[in-house]
Amino acid sequence: MRYFIHLAYNGRVFHGWQKQPNAPTVQSEIEEKLSLLLRQEIEVVGCGRTDTGVHAKQYYLHFELDQTVETEKLAFQLNAILPKDISIYEVFEVDDQTHARFSATQRTYEYWISTRPDPFAHRLSFLHTKPLNIIAMNEAAQLLLSHTDFECFSKVHTDVKTFNCKITQAVWEERENHKLVFTISADRFLRNMVRAIVGTLLNVGKGKITIDDVQKILNSKNRSEAGESVLAHGLFLTNISYPIK
């Protein structure tokens, strides 16, 4: 039987999602606690990888089990023994064809920027107090929707078969409490892609590059042409879409 877990996590103390030797990760924490509760070795498959320090407001994983479990009880037990930076919302059974990663049809990220110092937000947003041309940043962001190859925003030497992604949303908006948020949705994302896009669009907002320059960066397929990646602690995975959810 295959079970899904719906969860969220604050990435500040983790070296990303994917387990690795001698470093705390979300995957290793969950596998350890699931194995303890179910009294057998459990491996989980996540809906994607998040880098060190990146957060997930919505995340899904699946695991295989040869027995029936009380899903509500398991969710309660996991919350009782997992670190408080990880929260389990729901455990539910799915059919064997539903895959946490490959069945996902769309992913959405948000990048949070604080436009004034805030003692309650500094660990969950990037501080930028100087003026930005948000209109120009949104015009440049719209260029992303007409491209599919995003090698220029991908981490170099990454092991992928294709740099193609279908972006369906890319927009900046000002929110209350002096917050500026970039929202981007796509069928898939490359490693470091969102943070590199944000860094590039911020350069547009600062007047360092033009919208035409962004078009040239996209055409270049060269990571060194794009802007620097912004810090990880302002990035949130906010939504994963499935045919079943």
Alpha-helical regions (H) of the chain: 26-38, 71-81, 134-142, 193-205, 211-220
Cα radius of gyration (the chain): 19
From the candidates 51, 95, 159, 187, give the one annotated as an active-site residue: 51
Burial level of 22, CB count in 10 A (0-12/13-18/19+)? exposed
In 3D space, the residue among 198, 203, 200, 163 whose CA is nearest the CA of residue 184 turns out to be 198
16 vs 28: CA distance, rounded Å: 10
In sequence order, which residues have a C-beta less than 8 Å from that of residue 98 and are 6 or more positions away?
2, 4, 62, 242, 244
DSSP element (H, E) containing 89? strand 86-94
- Alpha carbon 135 to its chain centroid, in Å, reads 25
Please check whether residue 25 is in contact with residue 17, taking contact to mean a CB–CB distance below 8 angstroms: yes
Q: Is residue 213 flagged as an active site residue?
A: no
* Positions marked active-site: 51
